[in-house]
Structure 1
């Protein structure tokens, strides 16, 4: 019997070479590189990669040319496949329930980009309170009058975040790290809403208040941060924005489709919301032109988690998930274990 097969999707590894040697020692690694969807489907049908036991995708910007992982692809995977370890925090592009139905554990790599995303979130929070977008755009315009306008008028309408409330939708690993930074550095009051309440010791560590009902939290928050995975539906719509405190702010570092973007535009245009900071967008890579034209909106290009340190971690964590699963029976960062367990009932 030869070594079990791991299918490596996308580019060569770049940093964790010693760990990759460990993977090579235990598995026969085959490569798909960057393969178009139809070619990839045909390769699966022809069993070009053999009966692989795991899939490994170390980078979010390569190895994804086959598009969304839906039933069309998942149904073609060999029954031998037990785990899919991929880079990135979000997993809206992969049907984790369908993977579970095939007995496949999906592992993301949110842990590897937690620090980078949290730092970016703090920048966006600060921008929504301090009007950094207005000031930066005025300076970059090279227009003397715009510079003078920002210089003269920003102080009258912006605030320090210290002591304000930060309401976090989704207090997972990333949401918790943002809460730590906001609470410790800016003495912000932490509120949160999640599908489950955190243990008492977690709440105490950031002095957090749990809100079972999202609308109750939105009504009292100075700044709302979206940090929950995309589950197929919006968490904030027109009614949500109307329920938010007048003059409050919104930050999204999760997924653009979690927010009704047109409703957000209306809330900002009506001055019900003071400002917004968005790393992600509803129709990426297209950015809403109305939002782009607003000086009270800070926009990034879905780069909150983008850093060398994150990429090193993505690469490493994927291998660690596969090694751990086949050594101990448990993955390091499984996403769909609850679905897998349900599928066995």
Structure 2
């Protein structure tokens, strides 16, 4: 490899044909297998790198970049980036980028589907059927909650939250939302959504969907007190980040009947799932796949590649990564 060409580390196997676009400008070291990189391994991989293409699996902070004197850019494949200590990276002058927009509609599809599955007990019913319990039709078997005409609550009304709200219109749902800041009236009209405070959202929602970013201030935002404020007939769906929910408090609520059901695509210790949740019959569990359609995942990698190429001063957007994260 020539020292004249910048060096790139690709932390996980992605799509070879898209990642190959980096070869035009860089010497690329790509990880061939899905890897749970230890902090020391990440630090070693970054030590001689000018840029990196990473995923949510890869946690990078001040310790991992301490010896990475050449590192100028990190492109994260994902809209969320709580795997990165952005402040520490920006303090070193490292450009950080993520992949918003391209996964909005796919993730909104999945969030709505997960909410439906929890409300109508689809996973529970399938497990019951597969176990051989279905001996005939029964009028009172597997009764779930209504979705059409019910109240949908959205906590975090960014692009994905707005996408879920638009889908709710087809089900004749009343949409409430709470956000760090209220949306413009035109957006509220488009989404047919009404702003309420957090307490009202918890109390009035038949189905509450979490779509807000994880920051330390939001840790266990949905705790025992928040769950107690919800209707016992309500469902909770989380497609945001696992740390937003106190999973033990959620298990208590699900097992006691204090909450009807939940749908979870994200977990605080993922890929490890709280065993108490695994034991709950009334929770739908999926392995962080809300953006997991083939076209969307390819679009995410393509945008991350564009970000990295531009951040390092190459390509048609040289110096202007399409979705760089601005310093705060």
Corresponding position of 1:153: 140
Please say if 1:112 is aligned against 2:102: yes
Matched residues, number: 316
Match for residue 296 of structure 1 among 275, 282, 286: 282
Structure 2 counterparts to residues 250-289 of structure 1, below 5 A: 250-289=236-275
Q: Secondary structure, in 3 states, of the residue corresponding to 2:322?
A: coil
SS at match of 1:224: strand
Structure-2 residue corresponding to 1:29: 27
When the two structures are superposed, what TM-score results if normalisation uses the length of structure 1?
0.81
Q: Once the 2 structures are TM-superposed, how far is the Cα of residue 73 of structure 1 from its aligned partner?
A: 0.9
Q: Distance in 2 between matches of 1:177 and 1:292?
A: 29
The equivalent residue for 1:225 is 209
Cα distance in 1 between the residues matched to 2:244 and 2:99: 20
The change in CA–CA distance for 1:219 and 1:71 in structure 2 (over 3 A counts) is: same
Structure with the bigger percentage of helix: 1
CA shift, 1:278, in A, is 1.1
Hey, what does 2:61 align to over in structure 1?
70
- Deviation at 1:38? 2.7
Mind listing any 5+ residue stretches in structure 1 that lack a counterpart?
none
> Contact between 2:46 and 2:71, CA under 8 Å: does it hold in 1?
no
Deviation at 1:272, TM superposition (A): 2.4
Q: Corresponding residue for 2:224?
A: 238
Cα distance in 2 for partners of 1:44, 1:178 equals 38
Say whether residues 1:192 and 2:177 are aligned partners. yes
Q: Which residue of structure 2 lines up, in the alignment, with residue 216 of structure 1?
A: 200
- How many angstroms does 1:165 deviate by? 1.5
Q: Which runs of 5+ in 2 are unaligned?
A: none
Q: Using the alignment, how far apart are the partners of 1:254 and 1:217 within structure 2?
A: 17
Q: CA RMSD in A?
A: 2.6
Q: 1:249 aligns with which of 235, 250, 259?
A: 235
CA drift at 1:154? 3.7
Q: Which residue of 2 aligns with 1:89?
A: 79
Contact 2:214 2:244 in 1 (8 A): yes
* Alpha-carbon shift at residue 248 of structure 1 (Å): 1.3
Q: Could you say which residue in structure 1 is the equivalent of 2:292? A: 306
Residues of 2 paired with 1:42 and 1:249: CA distance? Answer: 44
**TM-score for the superposition, normalised by structure 2:** 0.85
Q: CA deviation at 1:281?
A: 2.1
